[in-house]
Amino acid sequence: MNRMDTPKIKAKCTLRGGTEIEAYVVNPGGWFGKAHLIQVAIANALNPFYVIEAQDFQSAIDYLADSDEYGHLINMDEEDIDEDDENLTRAGNDSHVVNLDNVCPHNITSIKYYLEIEDITESTLVADIQTAIEDWAALN
pTM: 0.73
Centre a 10 Å sphere on the Cβ of residue 111 and count the other Cβ atoms it contains.
14
Please answer whether residues 97 and 89 qualify as being in contact, where contact means their C-beta atoms are separated by less than 8 angstroms: yes
Q: Are strands 8-15 and 20-25 parallel, antiparallel or unpaired?
A: antiparallel
pLDDT at residue 1 greater than cutoff 50: no
> pLDDT confidence of 119, banded at 50, 70, 90?
low
> What are 39-69's pLDDT values in tens digits?
998 776 677 899 999 999 999 999 999 999 9
Please answer whether residues 55 and 34 qualify as being in contact, where contact means their C-beta atoms are separated by less than 8 angstroms: yes
DSSP 44-55: TS---EEEEE-S
The H or E element spanning position 91 is: strand 89-91
